[in-house]
Amino acid sequence: MTRLLDQLPKVRGKYIENAPLKDSVWFRVGGAAEILFKPADADDLCAFFQGKPADVPITLLGVGSNVLIRDGGIPGVTIKLGSSFSKITCAGTTITAGAGALDRTVALTAAQAGIGGFSFLSGIPGTIGGAIKMNAGAYGSEIKDIFQSCQVVTPQGTIEERVANDLGFSYRKSLLQDDEVVVSATFVGTIRSSKDLEQEIAEILKEREASQPVRARTGGSTFKNPEGMKAWQLIDAAGFRGRTLGGALVSEKHCNFLINTGTATAHDLEALGNEIQKHVLNQSGISLEWEIKRLGTYDKKGLKNA
Other CB atoms within 10 A of residue 88 CB: 18
Q: Is the pTM of this model over 0.75?
A: yes
172 catalytic per annotation: yes
pLDDT in tens, 290-301: 999 999 998 755
Domain contains 142: yes
Structural domain including 145 reads 85-197
58 and 158 share a domain? no
Q: How does pLDDT run across 200-241, given as a tens digit for each residue?
A: 999 999 999 999 998 999 999 999 999 999 999 999 999 999
> What is d(CA 180, CA 160) in angstroms, rounded to the nearest whole number?
10
To the query of whether residue 28 is one of the catalytic residues in this protein, the response is no
193 in the same domain as 89: yes
Which CATH number does the domain housing residue 90 bear? 3.30.465.10
* Per annotation, catalytic residue among 28, 104, 172, 241: 172
Write out pLDDT tens, residues 82-136. Answer: 999 999 999 999 999 999 999 999 999 999 999 999 999 999 999 999 999 999 9
Query: What CATH number does the domain containing 274 carry?
Result: 3.90.78.10
Q: How many CA atoms lie within 13 A of 38 on its CB side?
A: 9
Task: DSSP letter for 228, please.
Answer: T
Catalytic one among 122, 174, 221, 251? 221
- Same domain for 95 and 190: yes
CA separation for the pair 129, 16 (Å, rounded): 22
Which among 198, 241, 291, 294 is annotated as catalytic? Answer: 291
Section 7-35 average pLDDT: 97
What is the domain-level CATH number for residue 34?
3.30.43.10
The answer to whether residues 182 and 272 belong to one domain is no
Question: Domain ends where: 172, 197, 222?
Answer: 197
